[in-house]
Amino acid sequence: MDKTETLHYLDQLGIAYELVGHPAVFNMAELAQISLPHPEADAKNLFIRDDKKRNYYLLTIQGTKRVNLKQFQQANGTRRLTLASPADLQAKLGLSPGSVTPLGLLNDASHEIPFYLDSYFQDQPRIAIHPNDNTATIWLKPLDLLDVIQKLGNPVKVVPM
């Protein structure tokens, strides 16, 4: 799903969100250069894979945090992890670098990619993510995001990161 289809899908589900368009951003440093509301809700998204390219994972963490993939691997019982390639990102989620978002799971035809959400967002009123396009940001309730992904059938875990 592209941005328009993603927003339509959220509308169909009755998910409330706030939308702001902006120039394309490809990382958190570029995002910081744009004046957007709710900076405490900024999320960083990582699409990672194991060393055998058998298992892929989507992680969403609070925007200023760094992820230690070795710690994540140990805590979640995975094989050695690394960032997935742009080709893997396109093939699995239909996204390009800079557009990684939990809503990319709408494009996961097999609904097998696990989603890991930073427990930081459990107590937050909103989370900021791209709607499958890095020229816009939407803010929605974290519980609504989890509900959307769970309804797709993807495994969902909320973990400290």
Q: Does residue 46 register a pLDDT over 90?
A: yes
Q: Which two tokens stand for residue 124?
A: 């937050």
CA distances from 36 to 19, 28, 89, 141 (A): 10, 12, 26, 17
CA distances from 101 to 79, 80, 88, 111, 131 (A): 23, 22, 14, 15, 7
pLDDT of 137: 96
Q: Where are the domains of the chain?
A: 3-159
> What confidence tier does 25 reach under pLDDT thresholds 50, 70, 90?
confident
Give the β-pairing of 56-62 and 43-50: antiparallel
Looking at 3.90.960.10, 1.10.3720.10, 3.40.50.2300, 3.40.50.10540, the CATH number of the domain 3-159 comes to 3.90.960.10
Encode pLDDT of 50-81 as tens digits: 999 999 999 999 999 998 999 999 999 999 99
pTM for the complete prediction?
0.93
Quick one: 41 exposed, middle or buried, by C-beta within 10 A (0-12, 13-18, 19+)? buried
